[in-house]
Structure 1
Amino acid sequence: MKIIAFAASTSSKSINKVLVTYVAHQLPNADVEVLDLIDYPAPIFSEDTEKEIGHSESAKKLLAKLGRADAIIVSFAEHNGSYTAAYKNLFDWATRIERSVFHNKPVLYMATSPGPGGGKSVLAAAVSSAPYFGAEVKASLSVPSFYDAFDVQANEFKNAQLKQQVTQALDALVAELG
Structure 2
Amino acid sequence: MTLHKPPRILVFAGSAREDSHNKRLARLAAERLDRVGGQATFVDLRDYPLPLYDGDLEGREGLPASARSLQGLLAEHQGLLLASPEYNGFITPLMKNTLDWLSRSDGDRSGLTLFADKLAAVVSASPGALGGMRSLALIRQLLGNLGVTVLPNPLAVPRAAQAFGENGELVDESQQQRLDALCQRLVTTLIKLQATDSPSGS
Q: Amino acid of the residue matched to residue 144 of structure 1?
A: P
The answer for unaligned runs of 5 or more in structure 2 is 1-5, 106-110, 192-202
Higher strand share: 1
1:114 paired residue among 127, 131, 148: 127
1:100, distance to aligned residue in structure 2 (A) = 4.4
What TM-score does the superposition give when structure 1 sets the normalisation length?
Answer: 0.90
Q: Deviations over 1:108-155 (max 9, x none)?
A: 10111112121111110011232221322124211111133321x122
CA contact 1:58–1:90 (8 Å) conserved in 2? no
| Aligned equivalent of 1:146 | 160
Task: Quote the RMSD (CA, aligned, Å).
Answer: 1.7
Structure 1 CA distance for aligned equivalents of residues 124 and 54 of structure 2: 28
| Aligned equivalent of 1:19 | 25
The answer for unaligned runs of 5 or more in structure 1 is none
Give the length in aligned residue pairs: 177
- Runs of 4 or more off by more than 4 Å in structure 1? none
| Aligned equivalent of 1:170 | 183
CA contact 2:28–2:168 (8 Å) conserved in 1? yes
What TM-score does the superposition give when structure 2 sets the normalisation length?
Answer: 0.80
Q: Deviations over 1:79-117 (max 9, x none)?
A: 122222222222212222212453422211011111212
The percent of aligned pairs where both chains have the same amino acid is: 30
| Aligned equivalent of 1:62 | 70
CA contact 2:38–2:187 (8 Å) conserved in 1? no
Q: Larger radius of gyration, structure 1 or 2?
A: 2
Structure 2 CA distance for aligned equivalents of residues 160 and 16 of structure 1: 18
CA contact 1:59–1:91 (8 Å) conserved in 2? no
Q: Deviations over 1:37-77 (max 9, x none)?
A: 01111222121111121122211211111121132111011
Structure 2 CA distance for aligned equivalents of residues 34 and 4 of structure 1: 6
For the residue of structure 2 that corresponds to 1:150, the secondary structure is coil
For the residue of structure 2 that corresponds to 1:32, the secondary structure is strand
